[in-house]
Amino acid sequence: MPNRFRTRTLPAAAAVLLAAVLTACSSGSGDRPATPSGDASDDGHSHSHSAEPGLGHVHGLGVNPGDGKLYVATHYGIVAVDDDGGTERVGDTADYMGFAVAGPDTFLGSGHPAEGSDEPANRGLIRSTDAGKTWQTLSLGGEVDFHALEQAHGTVYGYDSTHGMLRVSKDGKKWDERAELAALDIAVSPGDPDVVLATTRDGVARSTDGGKTFSGGSGPVLAYLSWAGEDGKDALYGIGPDGALHRSTDGGGSWTRTGTVPGGQPQALTAAGPDHVLAATAGGVHESRDGGKSFTERLEMSDGAHSH
C-alpha cells in the first residue's frame, strides 16, 4: 500500500534520540528492575510517590473515567495511582506494550504474557472490562504485538509492530490492513476519523484517509502524541525524544513548545484534557494542568529500573 513518504534529513541528535526510544520500546530482557523505595501501609498500598517493585519501562498511560484513577501500563503489569500518590498493582505482571482506556473500567491492551504463562508470545488485542484485573483475547493472539492502540469514533486503531503496519477494526476482531510504515506512536483526531497521525524519525506523518496512506513526516521529531477534546483542534500534544513538550492548535499543522517534562527519555504520553497532560519518562510519571508549563510528579520510578 502506498505511503507517500518523502525523505527529510534529521538533526543527528534527534535521530539518535528517537532511535534510542524505538530500541527501548522494542527490545526486552528477562532482568527484573530494582525495587523502588517506598513504604507500604497496612492495606498493602504504597502511599509514597514510588512505584511498586518490578515495573520497568512504562508503555502506556490513561485516566479511567470509572474511578478517576491514573492507570500506568508497564513492562511488568499495570498500576493504579490515586490522586494522593498511593499505588496499587492491578492484575497480573504481563508486559503491556500497547494500552488504551476505551471507557469506564474498559481497557484495550497488547504485549506479552507474564512469566510462566501458557499464552502465546504475542497477545494480539486483549480487553479488560474490570479495570485491568482480568483480560480476554479478542483477536490476533500469537500473531501481532500492538505497540500503540487508540479507540476513537467506535473504531480501534492499532500499530502492529510485528508487521510494521496500521490496522483498523470496528469490533476488535476483524481487521483492515492499512499503510505500512515505521512508527512509534499514533493518534486519531477526535473530530475526524480519517485523520491519523504517526510519529516517525522524519517527523509527524499525516493520513487523511483513515490510515490507508500517509504523507511524509514534517514538523518537530516527536516520540509520542496525544489528542484531547471533542474536536481536537486546541489540544494536540507531542513529546520529543529529549522530553520537550509541544502543543498544536491546528491539528498538527504547526507546533509550539510549551515546556520540558522532567526525568529524561520519554516513555508515554496522554492528554486528559485541553490543559491536562500526563507524561512518563525514565524518572517517573509527571502531570501538568497548565498545558505543559509546569509539572508535578505523580509516580516515581527507581533509578534502577531497566528500560525494555
Question: What was the pLDDT predicted at 285?
Answer: 96
Separation of alpha carbons 134 and 211, rounded Å: 31
Q: Choose among 164, 171, 170: nearest CA to 138.
A: 171
pLDDT tens per residue across span 58-81: 999 999 999 999 999 999 999 999
pTM of the model: 0.83
Q: Counting beta carbons within 10 angstroms of the beta carbon of residue 121, is it exposed (0 to 12), middle (13 to 18) or buried (19 or more)?
A: exposed
Separation of alpha carbons 296 and 302, rounded Å: 17
DSSP β-ladder status, 236-239 and 224-227 = antiparallel
Separation of alpha carbons 22 and 182, rounded Å: 10
Question: What was the pLDDT predicted at 84?
Answer: 86
**Assigned domain for 73 exists:** yes
99 compared with 39, residue with greater pLDDT: 99
Separation of alpha carbons 166 and 238, rounded Å: 19
C-alpha cell at 296: 508535578
Question: What was the pLDDT predicted at 144?
Answer: 98
pLDDT tens per residue across span 285-300: 999 999 999 999 999 8
Q: What is the mean pLDDT of the chain?
A: 84
For residue 130, give the CATH number of its domain: 2.130.10.10
**Assigned domain for 35 exists:** no
**Assigned domain for 99 exists:** yes
pLDDT tens per residue across span 115-133: 999 999 999 999 999 999 9
Question: What was the pLDDT predicted at 261?
Answer: 98
**Assigned domain for 287 exists:** yes
**Assigned domain for 39 exists:** no
Q: Choose among 300, 272, 298, 271: nearest CA to 284.
A: 300
Enclosing domain of residue 218:
12-25+47-300
Q: Which residues contact 247 (CB under 8 A, 6 or more apart)?
A: 235, 236, 237, 238, 255, 256, 258, 291, 292
How big is the CA angle at 43 (ends 38 and 46), to the nearest 5 degrees?
Answer: 20
Find cell 472490562 and name the residue.
Answer: 129
**Cβ atoms of residues 237 and 271 within 8 Å:** yes
How big is the CA angle at 153 (ends 148 and 154), to the nearest 5 degrees?
Answer: 85
- Confidence band for 56, pLDDT divided at 50, 70 and 90: confident
Task: Give me the number of domains the chain comprises.
Answer: 1
**Assigned domain for 122 exists:** yes
- Confidence band for 18, pLDDT divided at 50, 70 and 90: low
When pLDDT is averaged across residues 30-54 and rounded to a whole number, the result is 39
**Assigned domain for 218 exists:** yes
**Does the pLDDT value for residue 38 go beyond 80?**
no
**Assigned domain for 220 exists:** yes
